[in-house]
Amino acid sequence: MTTTDARTPTRTDGGPTATGLDPRTTIGSLTLTNPVLTASGCAAAGRELGRLYDVAALGAVVTKSILREARSGRPTPRMAETPSGMLNSIGLQGPGIEAFLAHDLSWLREQGATTVVSIAGNDAAEFAELAGRLAGEPGVGALEVNISCPNVADRGLVFACDPASSAQVVAGVVEAVAGRVPVLAKLSPDVTDIVAIARSVLDQGADGLAMINTTLGMVIDTDALRPVLAGVTGGLSGPAIRPIAVRCVWQVHAAMRAGLLPPRPIVGIGGILTGLDALQFVLAGASAVQVGTTTFHDPSAPWRVGRELAGELAARGFTRVADAVGHAHAVLEQEGAW
Amino acid sequence: MTPGSAAPPAETLGPVDRRPDPVQLRCPVLAAEPAAAYRRIVLDAGEAARRALPGQFVALAVGEPPTAMLLRRAVSIHRARAVDDRFGGAGTIEIVVAPHGPGTQWLTRCRPGDTLDVVGPLGRPFPVPASGEARPAVVVGGGYGSAPLLWLAAELTGDVDVVLGAATADRLFGVDEAEALVGSSRTWVTTDDGSAGEHGRVSLVLERLLSRQLESAPAVDVYACGPMAMLRAVQELAAPAGARTWLAVEESMACGIGICMTCVLPVRGEDGVTRMTRSCLEGPTFDGERIRWDAIAFGPGGAHSAVPEDCLGAPQASGTGH
């Protein structure tokens, strides 16, 4: 029996490690001691992982999306395993903001964890109200705006699939936050032109992008002859969607390099299992990454990937995370010049 | 009290909680052998073995890394030994695996010397009466659902009857162990096809035992583990007989540690409010009276739960839900 490293992560104060790499990264005004965060919906509000290790050692804890009211979520079954991935249809189950502030945010603060609070809403006004309340709470490092939920005012169409709806939500959030914490907009890959969606939210003052959310999928039970999930369709996540996610980060970062989008930090998300997976996102243009579904497979993953990514960056001669961000674009540009 | 504390917490099943913190370990397989239609696996589980209590489970990664099967398999602990003399004094956890699908089939192919990635012990153990309080108990196991119950039975101090049922004789687990523990006169076996023990379901025997117990005080406690339909039958018999029930549910889980929100059941908290409750964290053992059986349906793919209308945060009729 051997103990995994999961049990003994140590806090870092930031600054260069023994490998010569400075693992710090920034998202707007927020400095992270390392570039690997949990992903929304894959770490609850940190407390459960806190039974296994010190969550303050993570780049940040990104909470499950918080809504104004408590929400029961959907009936079961809510989940199906798929090749190198899973489908989920949870329905944003959560306790509502009052209970979050009283029981969860206070706990995260006590741990000294860097916290990114994910917010969701039925309409733009709910997003703005939540953002205004949270931005003033001690212990909130940044907000992530989960626009991959249905817009009740627009026939349940997902905000993130429409540039105007996305812009409306982000504009309200940015105004309510008034610069107190960075605002990240989390994008859905289920769009024709992700650069257009990115532009719509950056033009409204989003400080950065988190990408990608799950992509819509479905599994049918061939014995019961019906869909497996009670919600019929669900969000596909895990390594199965990693190439889609790397492509999305690549396209948006390329548009930033070309001057077609304002340059803002990207947080890469999608099927990261190892430090090398995370490195792909950094090279494509991400300043930080989130580990989501892999946390179900390996609870230590958000911490482990941070350590592995630092090692991989150092092994390639990088001394700062920022120097590696989008480096694969630079390599292509150089090759093109030859 | 802070102003926000009026908001109900997500967890409400009571302050009495013996849950130890889990650990994540890489555990060598010490033994793996067939046991009826199942496979019994002994793991060198160190600290996890020292912390585990009856009713808890472990969450196992499956497949050779890097595996395409990302979700952990939750398997109840058959027995944990802080010091196992059979294996040089190692701390061991013993599990019983039923090969249902590719993940559990992979587990049943493990051999001594292989290593499993284990998170545990997880979940709420069975509550047991305070020491000195010897209450009569009936434990009811369906199929390999009996695995966690024999360890529990060994820890109960009152008279214990063990009821083991399965579809067929080869799907019974733990009959010899039960007879060694409580004697053959208190071990009851049923099979659906009559291939072993009495022909019928466990409810047949449970009903008899409960009516016998009705005439004597103190009231009997019923502990059960098995398919959801069996647990409901146990609850329906035990409740009118005044017996308290502790039921270990089998919900499919992605993580086992409380972060994925997939293994939920509608359960009434101690504040009387029903929530979609994580069976990995607040279960797998539940007070049978608190489970909202009215919202649980049984289909070809197993049991599934609707969201009761009075559940905290249930979708409103106006359509502001999801």
For A246, the 3-state DSSP assignment is helix
B42/B95 same-domain check = yes
**Shared domain check, B201 and B75:** no
Q: How many whole angstroms separate alpha carbon A169 and alpha carbon B249?
A: 41
Question: Residue A149 catalytic?
Answer: yes
Nearest 5°: the CA angle B270, B273, B279 is 70
* pLDDT in the model for residue A20: 84
Q: Which of A88, A82, A27 is nearest to B68 (CA)?
A: A82
Asked if the structure places residue B317 within a domain, the reply is: no
Cα separation, B62 vs B116, whole angstroms: 8
Residue ending a domain, choose from B63, B97, B122: B122
Q: Which residues of B touch A54 (CB under 8 A)?
A: none
Q: Which CATH number fits the domain that encloses residue B91?
A: 2.40.30.10
Check whether residue B146 and residue B244 sit in a common domain: yes
A42, A149, A161, A248: which is the annotated catalytic residue?
A149
Nearest-CA neighbor of A148 among A189, A177, A208?
A: A189
Shortest distance, CA B25 to any CA of chain A (angstroms): 5
Q: What is the spatial distance between Cα A215 and Cα B54, in angstroms, rounded to a whole number?
A: 40
Together in a domain, B282 and B176: yes
Q: Which residue is associated with the tokens 């950056």? A: A202
Which range marks the domain in which residue B290 is found? Answer: 137-305
Per CB-CB distance under 8 Å, the chain A contacts of B254 are: 79, 81, 86, 88, 296
Residues A1, B322: C-beta atoms closer than 8 Å: no
Please give the residue of chain A at the shortest CA–CA distance from B316.
A71
> Which of A130, A131, A122, A196 is CA-nearest to residue A159?
A122
| Residue B221 falls inside a structural domain | yes
Query: What is the value of pTM for the model shown?
Result: 0.94
pLDDT at residue A12, rounded to an integer? 47
Q: Which CATH number does the domain housing residue B219 bear?
A: 3.40.50.80
Structure tokens at A235: 């969000």
Judge if B177 and B241 occupy the same domain: yes
Tens-binned pLDDT, residue by residue, of chain B (322 aa): 333 345 555 555 554 466 889 999 999 999 999 999 999 999 999 999 999 999 999 999 999 989 999 999 999 999 999 999 999 999 999 999 999 899 999 999 999 999 999 999 999 999 988 777 788 999 999 999 999 999 999 999 899 999 999 999 999 999 999 999 999 999 999 999 999 999 999 999 999 999 886 666 668 999 999 999 999 999 999 999 999 999 999 888 999 999 999 999 999 998 899 999 999 999 999 999 999 999 999 877 788 999 999 999 999 754 444 3
- The size of chain B, in residues, is 322
In this structure, what are the phi and psi dihedrals at residue A271, rounded to the nearest 5 degrees? 70, 30
Q: Provide, as residue numbers in chain A, all residues whose Cβ is less than 8 Å from the Cβ of B261.
A: 41, 44, 64, 73, 78, 90, 93
Asked if residue A267 lies in contact with residue A286, where contact means CB atoms within 8 angstroms, the answer is: yes
The CA–CA distances, whole Å, from A88 to A123, A219, B87, B104, B250 equal: 23, 11, 41, 21, 19
- Residue range A23-48: mean pLDDT, rounded: 96
| Total H helices, total E strands in chain A | 11, 19
Cα separation, A218 vs A236, whole angstroms: 8
Q: Which helix (H) or strand (E) holds A126?
A: helix A124-135
Residue pair B58/B193 in contact (Cβ under 8 Å)? The answer is no
DSSP codes joined into one string, A248-310? HHHHHHHHHHTTSS----EEEES---SHHHHHHHHHHT-SEEEE-THHHH-TTHHHHHHHHHH
User: pLDDT tens digits, residue range B115-127?
Assistant: 999 999 999 999 9
Q: Do B83 and B192 fall into the same domain?
A: no
Residue B298 lies inside a defined structural domain of this protein:
yes
Q: In this complex, do B304 and A77 lie within 8 Å of one another by their Cβ atoms? A: yes
Q: Which residues of A touch B119 (CB under 8 A)?
A: 52, 299
- Across the interface, whether the CB atoms of A76 and B44 are under 8 A apart is answered no
CATH architecture of A27-74+92-219+237-337: Alpha-Beta Barrel (3.20)
Residues B276 and B246 in one domain: yes
My answer on whether B43 and B115 are in the same domain is yes
Residues A211 and A249 sit within 8 Å (Cβ to Cβ)? yes
Classified as helix, coil or strand, A179 is: coil
The answer to whether residue B154 is domain-embedded is: yes
pLDDT digits (tens, 9 = 90+) for A171-190: 999 999 999 999 999 999 99
Look at chain B and report how many structural domains it folds into.
Answer: 2
What's the residue count for chain A? 338
Nearest one of A337, A305, A308 to A21, comparing CA atoms: A308
Work out the mean pLDDT of chain A and round it to a whole number: 93
Q: Examine residue B251 and state whether it is found in any structural domain, yes or no.
A: yes
- Cβ atoms of B24 and B119 within 8 Å: the answer is yes
Under an 8 A CB cutoff, do A78 and B299 touch? no
Tell me which H or E stretch contains B238.
helix B228-238
Domain edges within chain A? 27-74+92-219+237-337
Domain boundary among B122, B145, B177: B122
Contact: B6, A98; criterion CB under 8 Å: yes
* ipTM greater than cut 0.90: yes
A199-206: average pLDDT: 98
**Cis peptide bond upstream of B66, omega within 30:** yes
Is A269:A275 a contact under the CB 8 Å cutoff?
no
Tell whether B193 and B274 lie within a shared domain. Answer: yes
Last residue of a domain, one of B122, B146, B162: B122
